[in-house]
Amino acid sequence: MYWGRRFIFIAFALFISTELMAQGAPGEFYTRHLKTQNTGMYILGSWAVANIATGVYGWNQYSGDTKYFHQMNVFWNAVNLGIAGLAIHNNMQIDPLTLAFEEALAEARNIEKILLINSGLDVGYIGVGFLLKHLASGSDKRMNLMTGYGNSLILQGSFLLVFDLILYGVLHAQHMNFVEGISLSMGDSYLGFGWNYRF
């Protein structure tokens, strides 16, 4: 009888804890996660719009490598604007409250992996920019184009590197705080159940 009551109590307590994690905490966590992602995309979109606006002006007003610098900024940030808009649109289709514990963590980890991969690509963009500038000196016909494009890649790659690393850091901190909070809650609940049962 003693063990039977204890088993029922523990099973009920674990069921309640699991339900709370599945329905409450993961939804709240991923809601914050999506808000942070969207904030990042609004920043990226604003950067893109500013670069497109100044790029169109510079493309028409300047000549030489400065013209091509602005030209590449327009091309590059048209893509950035599309990425930001698509990401925000996709995030709006997600209902965070329907995600289970493992689903919320898996989605968070996927975004973090993407940001780390992007950071590696950003370093590559910067490297290509410096390579273009180096090769420009040996090409009379394309010197202005390669110099302008190279400077643009260095600027855009540097911005994206800082952007991706900061966004990764913020999202990863949220992720770890959530996991630690769940671990502490489960530990406290377990200790509390044991203490209450003994007395």
State pLDDT tens for residues 122-166. 999 999 999 999 999 888 889 999 999 999 999 999 999 999 999
- Asked if residue 60 is part of any domain, the answer here is yes
Q: Is residue 40 assigned to a domain?
A: yes
Q: What does the pLDDT read at residue 193?
A: 37
Q: What is the mean pLDDT of residues 30-47?
A: 96
Residue 99 lies in a domain: no
From residue 73, alpha-carbon distances to 2, 59, 171 in Å are: 73, 9, 28
What is the domain extent for residue 167? Answer: 2-94+107-198
Burial of 192 (0-12, 13-18, 19+ CB in 10 A): exposed
Whether residue 136 lies inside any domain: the answer is yes
Structural tokens at position 42 = 């609004």
Retrieve residue 186's tokens.
């489960």
Q: What is the pLDDT of residue 28?
A: 85
Question: What pLDDT was estimated at residue 186?
Answer: 55
Does 41 map to a domain? yes
Domain count, the chain: 1
Mean local confidence (pLDDT), 22-48: 87
DSSP string for 75-115: HHHHHHHHHHHHHHHHHHT--GGG--HHHHHHHHHHHHHHH
Residue 101 lies in a domain: no
Residue 98 pLDDT greater than 60, yes or no: yes
Q: How confident is the model at residue 97 (pLDDT cuts 50, 70, 90)?
A: confident
- Residues 142 and 69: their CA atoms lie apart, in Å, by 13
Looking at residue 72, its pLDDT comes to: 98
pLDDT reported for residue 192: 40
| Residue 187 pLDDT | 53
pLDDT digits (tens, 9 = 90+) for 165-177: 999 999 999 988 8
Task: Judge whether 102 lies within some domain.
Answer: no
Classified as helix, coil or strand, 141 is coil
pLDDT digits (tens, 9 = 90+) for 177-198: 888 767 655 554 443 433 333 3
Residue 24 lies inside a defined structural domain of this protein: yes
**pLDDT confidence bin for 101, thresholds 50/70/90:** confident
For residue 126, what are its two tokens? 């910067």
Tell me the pLDDT band of 5, cut-offs 50, 70 and 90: low
Reported as a pLDDT band with limits 50, 70 and 90, residue 2 is very low
